[in-house]
Chains A and B, each alone.
Chain A
Amino acid sequence: EVQLLESGGGLVQPGGSLTLSCTASRFTFSNYAMTWVRQAPGKGLEWVSSISASGGSTYYAGSVRDRFAISRDISKNTLYLQMNTLRVEDTAVYYCAKGSYDYVWGSYLDYWGQGILVTVSS
């Protein structure tokens, strides 16, 4: 079965940076779009960013555009989320999710990781 394992979370001060990783296994990573979704404590799901299978197309929520960067390394089967200028409101569990197709907009998220907590606090 598909496995997605997030890492890199933790406590960071406002204005700081953090990079999340999502290591994928048991599927051909290079063939599928990937997405990050977050969930603030006690809140609903919020889409953060997506990347196409080739990496040629990236998309960002307005709340993170110009601060976050999504990327993927096919050789390492790993998805990344570089997060800069972090704010208290970025505090959330971040989920990595696999798309059902190689492109983003028509995919649904068919597998999800267990999530990793990012806490932004002084």
Chain B
Amino acid sequence: QSVVTQPPSASGTPGQRVTITCSGSSSNIGSKTVNWYQQLLGTAPKVLIYNNNQRPSGVPDRFSGSKSGTSASLVISGLQSEDEGDYYCAVWDDDLLGWVFGGGTKLTVL
């Protein structure tokens, strides 16, 4: 059981908006910034959102992030078939003195 929890799956049709949540505690999300990673099938993860809501260059603005209290969210607007893959939230935990990853959310584009 991960310290930070995500729903195991999410789905949507092309063009829809999908939200993936990440729930933690005061020792991680409540006090540190959240990062989101995308892992497409058979590839290495890549950063999608950093510092709660910042997009690296090259990441489409369809992807957005937010944080409130001890929860964070990743929103994908205008869902596309190439968005299908696994999404992970990650955050530093002050009690564990290490990174914690959410269990991952498998996104299916119907």
Of B14-22, B46-54, B68-76, B77-85, the stretch lying at the interface with chain A is B46-54
Contact yes or no, A112 B92, CB < 8 A: no
Contact yes or no, B96 A45, CB < 8 A: no
Contact yes or no, B45 A100, CB < 8 A: no
Other-chain residue from B47, B88, B98, B102 in contact with A59 (beta carbon distance below 8 A): B98
Give, as a whole number of angstroms, the nearest-CB distance from B52 to chain A: 10
Task: Tell me the bound Cα distance from A95 to B90 in angstroms.
Answer: 15
The reply to whether the CB of B24 lies closer than 8 angstroms to some CB of chain A is: no
The reply to whether the CB of B108 lies closer than 8 angstroms to some CB of chain A is: no
Task: Tell me the bound Cα distance from A62 to B2 in angstroms.
Answer: 13
Task: Tell me the bound Cα distance from A27 to B86 in angstroms.
Answer: 28
Task: Return chain B residues, CB-CB under 8 Å to A112.
Answer: 44-46
Looking across the interface, which residue of chain B has its beta carbon closest to that of A97? B45
The reply to whether the CB of B67 lies closer than 8 angstroms to some CB of chain A is: no
Give chain A interface residues in 71-122, CB to chain B under 8 Å: 95, 100, 104-106, 108-110, 112-115
Knowing A105-B32, A108-B35, A108-B51 touch, does A62 contact B96 (C-beta < 8 A)? yes
Task: Return chain A residues, CB-CB under 8 Å to B86.
Answer: 44
Knowing A46-B101, A47-B98, A59-B98 touch, does A109 contact B37 (C-beta < 8 A)? yes
| A interface with B by C-beta (< 8 Å) | 35, 37, 44-47, 50, 59-62, 95, 100, 104-106, 108-110, 112-115
| B interface with A by C-beta (< 8 Å) | 2, 32-33, 35, 37, 39, 44-47, 50-51, 56, 86, 88, 90, 92, 96-104
Give me 30 A-to-B residue pairs in the complex whose CB atoms sit less than 8 angstroms apart, sorted by A's number. Answer: A37-B45, A37-B101, A44-B86, A44-B102, A44-B103, A45-B37, A45-B39, A45-B45, A45-B88, A45-B90, A45-B101, A47-B100, A47-B101, A59-B98, A62-B96, A95-B44, A95-B45, A100-B50, A105-B32, A106-B32, A106-B92, A108-B35, A109-B45, A109-B90, A110-B47, A110-B56, A112-B44, A112-B45, A112-B46, A114-B44
